[in-house]
Amino acid sequence: MAVSAIVFLLAQTAIAENLEVGSTNSNEVEQKKTVVVTANRYPTDIREVGSSVSIIDAEEIKQSGQPTVLEVLRSVPGVDVVQSGGRGRTTSVFIRGAESDQTLLMIDGVRANDNTTGLFDFADIKAENIDRIEVIRGPQSVLYGSEAIGGVIQIFTKNAGKGTTANAFVEAGSRGTHQYRANIGHRDKNISSSNTVSFFGNDGISAAQSKNANPEDDSYRNVTLSSKNTAKFLEDGSINFIARYSNSESELDAFDFMGNVVDDLNFEQDTELLTLSTRIEKSVNDWVTPSILIGYTKQEIEGIDPDSEFNNFDISNDTFAVTTKVDITPTWGGTTSLGHVFETRKADNRGNFDA
């Protein structure tokens, strides 16, 4: 088990106000004020951020028609997405040429990278119930540690729309592709709740070359649940609870002794990812706003192959973090942010990859 801590102190002076923002690319929507959170760990006008930032909002995700975050990220400048096959296959993200283990993924403020490799496999993150995705290109190690040398990608879960809403979606296509989604939400002046369940299935393709005989397609299944619940108290106080869970099953191929990909009729990988976070925020006065974020991530990856000794493994990751922060915003402008992150990480490898 590893324990780490980060202390940060940020100060920023207001540079400009009430100016029109001209978008430099399609991911930065032109509007009076575009706010980014990840770059400075507090809401900041994008014009006052020194880092290179792209924001993909819910409307852009919807218009793209892409079912997964990895496909949405392909449109972001400076971001390379590498997938080792069809749906559900290992997917790495590289920012500005840095290694994939130098790209940090956060989900609602909670770290999601693998504790054994430092990587994150983007294959199973569905583009469901997402408010926006922030991509910060370039080193962010001062704020987020060495895993953020390449940059940071953060996913924010969507709030509910006004009133009580419910909707459902069904889609089908070639290669046995089918997906279903249902959402129910409610929002009034004191509470907000948005809850989504989705299923994606695909018969897939074989990664094995036809000359090596590949009669078996490798299917993929994914179930994702997400929920965001917020309550207000004492006028300007708020508490929220956010949960995201995904369970995926992928049929995989194996390698022969020459390194060629060959069909394996019974090799399957099951992956579960759970992220939980609770955030409490309440202003002390007009200047000072303290907050605390408690987050937990758990990932289980299991390989099952009854025909081989080499593809049976069980990898478990647990991360628990507490982030405390105080934002000081004087009436004359600018913001100073003082904070501390305490984090524990645990990993366990069983099977072929015992250390």
Supply the DSSP symbol for 284.
Answer: S
Most confident residue range from 172-186, 264-278, 280-294, 321-335: 280-294
Supply the DSSP symbol for 31.
Answer: S
195-232: buried (b, 16+ CB within 10 Å) or exposed (e) per residue? bbbbebbbbbebbbeeeeebeebbbbbbbbbbbbbbee
Alpha-carbon distances of 209 from 144, 216, 308, rounded to whole Å: 42, 11, 20
CA 266 from chain center: how many Å?
Answer: 30
Task: Show the domains of the chain with their CATH numbers.
Answer: 2-351 (2.170.130.10)
Residue 191 has pLDDT above 50, yes or no: yes
pLDDT of residue 6: 64
Helix, strand, or coil (residue 182): strand
| Torsion angles phi and psi, residue 169, rounded to 5 | -145, 135
Residue 242 has pLDDT above 80, yes or no: yes
Contacts of residue 56, Cβ cutoff 8 Å, sequence gap at least 6: 27, 72, 75, 76, 132, 133, 135
Mean local confidence (pLDDT), 235-261: 78
Strand partners, 314: 302, 350
* pLDDT confidence band for 306 (50 / 70 / 90): low
pTM summary value: 0.82
Let me know: does 150 contact 120? Beta carbons within 8 Å.
Answer: no
Pairing of strands 103-107, 151-157: parallel
* pLDDT confidence band for 354 (50 / 70 / 90): very low
Residue with tokens 């993924």: 105
pLDDT of residue 17: 37
How many Å is the maximal CA-CA distance in the chain? Answer: 71
Looking at every residue in the chain, the average pLDDT score rounds to 82
Number of helical H runs and strand E runs in the chain: 3, 21
pLDDT digits (tens, 9 = 90+) for 131-155: 999 999 988 877 887 788 889 999 9
pLDDT of residue 31: 47
